[in-house]
Amino acid sequence: MIKTPYLLFLGDAPDGLAAKVAQGIKDWRPENCVGQFRMEGCKADLGLTDMTLAEAKEAGAKTLVVGVANRGGKISQAWKKVLVMALEEGFDLASGLHNLLRDEPDLVAVAEATGRALHDVRVPEVEYPIADGVKRSGKRVLGVGTDCSVGKMYTGLALDKSMRAMEMKSTFRATGQTGILITGDGVPLDAVVADFMAGSIEWLTPDNDPDHWDVIEGQGSLFHVSFSGVTLALIHGGQPDALILCHEPTRTHMRGLPGYDLPSLEALRDMALPLARIANPACVVAGISINTQHMGEAEAVAYLEALEDRMGLPAVDPYRHGADRLAEALAAL
Amino acid sequence: MIKTPYLLFLGDAPDGLAAKVAQGIKDWRPENCVGQFRMEGCKADLGLTDMTLAEAKEAGAKTLVVGVANRGGKISQAWKKVLVMALEEGFDLASGLHNLLRDEPDLVAVAEATGRALHDVRVPEVEYPIADGVKRSGKRVLGVGTDCSVGKMYTGLALDKSMRAMEMKSTFRATGQTGILITGDGVPLDAVVADFMAGSIEWLTPDNDPDHWDVIEGQGSLFHVSFSGVTLALIHGGQPDALILCHEPTRTHMRGLPGYDLPSLEALRDMALPLARIANPACVVAGISINTQHMGEAEAVAYLEALEDRMGLPAVDPYRHGADRLAEALAAL
């Protein structure tokens, strides 16, 4: 569990895209963000108050979150200077970089001396159990995709936001590094050892109020041969009551797999639902989330309307039009 | 890669069952076994020549394999004495115990001093790639089960044996600790990090002669919620050309999951084949392997005959009747 609120470290980001993790935190959990820390030459700007470490500390920030990709595959000495000073000022550090904070002897030594925590969210910090398959109380919804990177995290966050706005009980359950940094907690599923994958998701989504929804962040795709096992562990560990089908209509082949076509949404439904019903016979497909970022507004609206007719399910782009109709579909279950 | 041949260490096994790993090695790779090493009070006997360390060394043994389960969750001092002496005599050590050899400082120190290797086959020794899904040359067959522990490893080893006897080109590809100790090589799939599961199986089953078969050891079950993700990674990383359905007809519920019924063989076929065809559209179900150990001979034969009629596929118990008919089915593809 990463202590909030955060000071977002944007480093010397060459552009806004390099700081997309920080952008995600600011978009979805603005209440967790006290301000931003930018180094000389930083080209990213989240529109948050620029703060020194001391100012952020004074404003209540507990953790400095590395919200920016590093360059050249190493943590530069210029960054290190800030990170060490942050530890000395009393901040914990959190990062999703491939280069782990814990692999830097100077950071480890200063963190030990100052009693601060280093959170590498790519690495599990918990010994997860083996899944026992026992039914848990409360409701769960999971996004499953025709492919990787079609907007499953975004769908989950938007759905959680809509559900809260409708005064439904909802918790977004992060299963990837960006989601973990956004919410401060979760399971880095792609880094969990095979035998414990499903168990880690049971651990993440425990018994809850009967009318509470865990919105579980999806990963991979049953149709993506590199990561399909991760997806199935998520389905069987999560025991979802409802699936949201996620799709990006302009993709020409599976991400990173040029020889592989994307499945249809019907094929996804017909593969995912029987698998989900092994763990939860009551599971249904509740709606469809379409990433229309490469379509014009008229084209997107026409596509979604035709899809609703074809599949008999609410179909929305949560970025363009919000996720309220998906939340309503869950409320109606 | 563990160096063969082996001296099989049976320790102070309280009965034959405790030495079932050693039994498996002796049953399936007798040519790898120079002899057995038994301590005082050992109740297991593989029928191999009892040897001292010096005698086994003289006879050519390269590795002392711990072929017995330990008691009390630790490696006893009595065992340690033998293991240290074996290192001093020039043996490598190999073990599938939960307690790792590498976690014992004395074994590590002596192995370092003598230049010997410690193989803990529960732990991956390779940095596996992420799967790229590219089609490989050669043929692959995989056993998929209605449940865990229904005889998938046995089926694979028996099939490999039958295929070799028929002068087909075949290699058994181990994916679990016992299989790895039997063959000296493989991937401990249940211990691989999620993102690399499918890639580890691509690594294990590389390009080969067009008429060569990799017989891939199955793991878990698509219907076993604790481990189904491991099974799907195996299906998508292995790209099998043929599946063998594996089943134990007297099981009353999924292993370790009292609330879960076993699927029918038809349900297994209808779930596994479409998933396998994502990675290899030419995949077929080639036959059925039934573990009839809890049935009488007449009952077993009647069950298998009825099953052949029902499913239109060769159905055998490879332990009772050999796997030749499964090998013939593959040869006919």
Listed as ranges, residues in chain B with pLDDT below 50 are none
Partner residue opposite B195 with nearest CB, options A190, A236, A254? A190
* Closest CA of chain A from B279, distance in Å: 7
- pLDDT over 70 percentage in chain A: 100
ipTM summary value: 0.94
Q: What would the 3-class secondary structure string for B188-210 be? A: CHHHCEHHHHHHHHHHHCCCCCC
Give per-residue burial for A44-83: e unless 16+ CB within 10 Å, then b: bebebeebebeebbeeebbbbbbbbbbeeeebeeebeebb
- DSSP track, A164-190: HHTT-EEEEE--SHHHHHHHS----GG
- Mutation for B interface: A228, A234, A270, most B CBs within 10 A: A228
Instruction: Name the pLDDT band for A74 (thresholds 50, 70, 90).
Output: confident
Q: Which of A194, A222, A254 sits opposite B191 (nearest CB)?
A: A194
Please enumerate in sequence order all residues whose Cβ is within 8 A of that of B73, keeping only pairs 6 or more positions apart, or say none.
B98, B99
In angstroms, the CA B26 to CA A79 distance is 58
The Cα of B271 is separated from the nearest Cα of chain A by a number of Å equal to 8
Q: Looking at the partner chain, which of A130, A259, A274 has a beta carbon nearest the beta carbon of B226?
A: A130
Instruction: State CA B158 to chain mean position distance.
Output: 11
Indicate yes or no: CB of A198 within 8 angstroms of CB of B134.
no
DSSP letter (8 states) at residue A44: -
The alpha helices in A45-185, defined as continuous H runs, are 53-58, 77-89, 105-114, 152-165, 177-183
| Distance of alpha carbon B45 from the chain centroid | 22
DSSP per residue over A52-64, as a string?
Answer: -HHHHHHTT--EE
Contact A216, A304 (CB under 8 A): no
Interface touch B237/A225, C-beta < 8 Å: yes
Longest dimension (CA), chain A: 62
Distance from CA of B144 to the nearest CA of A (A): 15
Which residues of chain B approach chain A closer than 8 Å at the C-beta?
A: 130-135, 189-195, 197-199, 222-223, 225-234, 236-237, 239, 254, 256-257, 259-260, 271, 274-275, 278-279
d(CA A75, CA A54): 23
Distance CA B100, CA B124 (A): 12
How confident is the model over A120-132, as pLDDT tens digits? 999 998 999 999 9
| Beta bridge partner(s), residue A169 | A212
State chain A's mean pLDDT as an integer.
Answer: 96
Question: Cα distance from A100 to chain B (closest Cα, Å)?
Answer: 17
Nearest to B288 by CA among B324, B253, B317, B322: B317
**Separation between Cα atoms, residue A227 and residue A129, nearest integer Å:** 21
Buried b (16+ CB within 10 A) or exposed e, B268-296: bbebbbebbebbbeebbbbbbbbbbeebe
Query: What CA–CA distance (Å, rounded) separates A211 from A331?
Result: 9
Query: How far is B222 from chain A, CA to nearest CA, in Å?
Result: 8
Q: Which of A192, A271, A277, A278 to mutate to test the interface with B (most CBs of B within 10 A)?
A: A278
Is pLDDT of A86 > 90? yes
Per-residue pLDDT at A72 exceeds 80: no
- Worst-scoring range by mean pLDDT, A12-26, A274-288, B203-217? A12-26
Q: Where are the beta strands (DSSP E) in chain A?
A: 6-11, 33-38, 63-66, 92-95, 118-120, 139-145, 169-173, 212-216, 242-247, 284-290, 315-316
- Nearest CB neighbour to A198, from listed B225, B254, B271: B225
Per-residue pLDDT tens digits for B29-47: 999 999 999 999 999 999 9
Degrees, nearest 5: CA angle B309-B315-B317: 140
- Torsion sign (Cα): B24, B25, B28, B34: negative
Question: Residue A306: which pLDDT band, with cuts at 50, 70 and 90?
Answer: very high
The average pLDDT across A63-83 equals: 91
Q: Report the pLDDT value the prediction gives residue B73, as an integer from 0 to 100.
A: 72
Confidence band (pLDDT; 50, 70, 90) for A330?
A: very high
- For residue range A103-152, what is the model confidence (pLDDT) as tens digits? 999 999 999 999 999 999 999 989 999 999 999 999 999 999 999 999 99
CB contact under 8 A, B232 and A222: yes
Tell me the C-alpha distance between A109 and B206, whole Å.
44
Amino acid at A291: N
Per-residue pLDDT at B74? 85
The mean pLDDT value for A271-283 works out to 98
Residues of A in contact with B189 (CB under 8 A): 194
**Among B81, B35, B242, CA closest to B155:** B242
Whether residue A257 and residue B132 make contact (CB cut-off 8 A), yes or no, is yes
The contacts of residue B333 (CB under 8 Å, 6+ apart) are B139, B241, B242, B284, B286
Partners of B134 on chain A (C-beta within 8 Å) are 259
Q: A278 and B225: CB-CB below 8 Å?
A: yes
CA distances in angstroms from B276 to A270, B144, B246, listed in the order given = 15, 11, 16
* CA atoms of B163 and B296, how far apart (whole Å): 27
